[in-house]
Amino acid sequence: EVQLVESGGGLVQAGGSLRLSCAASGLTFDDYAIGWFRQAPGKEREGVSCISNSDHGTYYADSVKGRFTISSDNAKNTVYLQMNSLKPEDTAVYYCAATIRAMGIIPDMYDYWGQGTQVTVSS
């Protein structure tokens, strides 16, 4: 059974930082791309970033480029999202997801999803 477990969310002031973790099990980690998505109340789920665990290629949404960094530790089957210079508009539930298809940040591409972790940025 594939499981993705997010952690690291919390409450932070604007300008602060958080690091999210996504621990994966039940899959061949190197074969998958892992994406981070977020969903704010009343809004659609949007892609934030993704990483290919085979070649560590990365992609970022324009809204987070230069502030967020995605990385993976293949030995730990874990993907991280370092979030710096956080803004109130980054407030959302953050989800990680796994796909064996091509890397991208379109939610429909992803087969497995975690339960999410709340990130709240106060102004």
DSSP letter at 54? T
- In tens, the pLDDT along 42-100 reads 999 999 999 998 888 999 999 999 999 999 999 999 999 999 999 999 999 999 999 99
Per-residue confidence band for 114, with pLDDT thresholds at 50, 70 and 90: very high
- Please tell me the predicted confidence (pLDDT) of residue 57: 93
- In tens, the pLDDT along 16-54 reads 999 999 999 999 999 999 999 999 999 999 999 999 988
- pLDDT mean across residues, the chain: 96
- Please tell me the predicted confidence (pLDDT) of residue 55: 86
N-terminal to C-terminal alpha carbon distance within the chain:
40
3-class state of residue 120 by DSSP: strand
DSSP of 70-103: EEEETTTTEEEEEE-S--GGG-EEEEEEEESS--
The dihedrals phi and psi of 88, each to the nearest 5 degrees, come to: -55, -35
Looking up tokens 């998505």, which residue turns up? 37
